[in-house]
């Protein structure tokens, strides 16, 4: 496509995936965030919890100085603690909600435009009960975010039977859930991720068309799913072209084409579309990031409307 990327999206990078040492809210947050802020390829960045309020303040200043759009990913608040937003134990569910509300507070401090989370594990026998618990929790989060100002709340669609084994999930259930929440909360939407689509056993069209009216945010990445014995099997977000991986330039072209065809990339609203890539083993994060940028440039040149 001859038109520039910047007309259609704000290209972003997930800070806590590219630099996984910060995923628990500590570590070299400022040094690594500055690398992204200084790279003018990126218009957006996604961060997670930052436990030190002084560090949060300095990250906010860097974000403002660099003219970055910032979104907040609360997934690590759940994944690193075992909290489950659709826990059938009410005490556990409320603990997850409380942690995510604290995340919304942090997101406000950081000047975030969006807040994302994921659903939790479930059992087949009690799937509907887990679904109802998720609906209750999501309503609470949307109302809380509404009380804080103008911030989008997004649930990220994850795999349901491979790695994270999250309730949402397959496209039909994701569409049902999003429609139910959107009836009462205009600030809600779904986050889709190229790296999760093979884990869901869906094609791009199967994953995206049923939820096209609810997508507010998108991720680009890779996964390994064909053989459990392979390195980086599951939801590890290795670089594009990783041995045994599912996604490279061709698959990103297809993903972009579907996002263009459904109007998510319409040349007007410029949503955040972020890389979710993680170094594997001793890989250099800077090289993994360079890989992602090259792949996106190549894919965009081949994308069509």
**pTM of this structure:** 0.96
Question: Token pair of 169, please?
Answer: 């999930």
Give domain limits for the chain. 5-302
Torsion of CA 290, 291, 293, 295, to 10 degrees: 160
For residue 304 the two structure tokens come to 């069509």
pLDDT in tens, 213-242: 999 999 999 999 999 999 999 999 999 999
First vs last C-alpha separation in the chain: 8
H helix count then E strand count, the chain: 11, 8
Q: What DSSP letter does each residue of 240-255 carry, written as one string?
A: TT-TT-S-SHHHHHHH
Mean pLDDT of 157-162: 97
Fold exhibited by the domain 5-302: TIM Barrel (3.20.20)
Average pLDDT of 273-293? 98
Q: Mean of the pLDDT values across residues 181-189?
A: 98
């Amino acid at each position: 496509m001859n038109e520039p990327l910047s007309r259609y999206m704000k290209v972003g990078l997930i800070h806590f995936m590219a630099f996984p040492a910060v995923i628990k809210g500590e570590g070299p947050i400022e040094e690594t965030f500055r690398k992204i802020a200084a790279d003018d390829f990126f218009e957006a960045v996604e961060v997670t919890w930052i436990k030190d309020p002084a560090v949060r303040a300095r990250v906010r200043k860097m974000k403002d100085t660099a003219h970055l759009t910032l979104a907040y990913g609360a997934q690590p608040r759940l994944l690193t603690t075992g909290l489950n937003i659709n826990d059938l134990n009410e005490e556990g569910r409320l603990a997850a909600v409380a942690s995510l509300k604290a995340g919304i507070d942090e997101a406000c401090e950081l000047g975030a435009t969006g807040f994302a989370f994921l659903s939790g594990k479930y059992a087949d026998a009690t799937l509907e009960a887990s679904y109802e618990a998720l609906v209750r929790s999501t309503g609470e989060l949307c109302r809380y975010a509404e009380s804080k100002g103008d911030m989008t709340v997004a649930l990220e669609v994850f795999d349901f039977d491979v790695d994270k084994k999250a309730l949402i999930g397959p496209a039909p259930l994701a569409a049902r859930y999003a429609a139910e929440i959107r009836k009462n909360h205009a600030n809600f939407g779904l986050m889709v991720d190229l790296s999760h689509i093979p884990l869901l056993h869906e094609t791009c069209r199967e994953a995206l068309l049923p939820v096209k009216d609810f997508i507010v945010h998108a991720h680009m990445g890779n996964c390994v799913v064909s053989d459990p014995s392979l390195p980086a099997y599951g939801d590890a977000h290795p670089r594009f072209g990783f041995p045994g991986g599912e996604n490279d330039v061709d698959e990103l072209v297809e993903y972009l084409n579907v996002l263009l065809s459904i109007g998510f990339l319409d040349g007007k609203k410029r949503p955040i579309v972020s890389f979710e890539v993680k170094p594997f083993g001793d890989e250099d994060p800077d090289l993994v990031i360079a890989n992602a940028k090259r792949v996106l440039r190549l894919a965009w040149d081949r994308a069509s409307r």
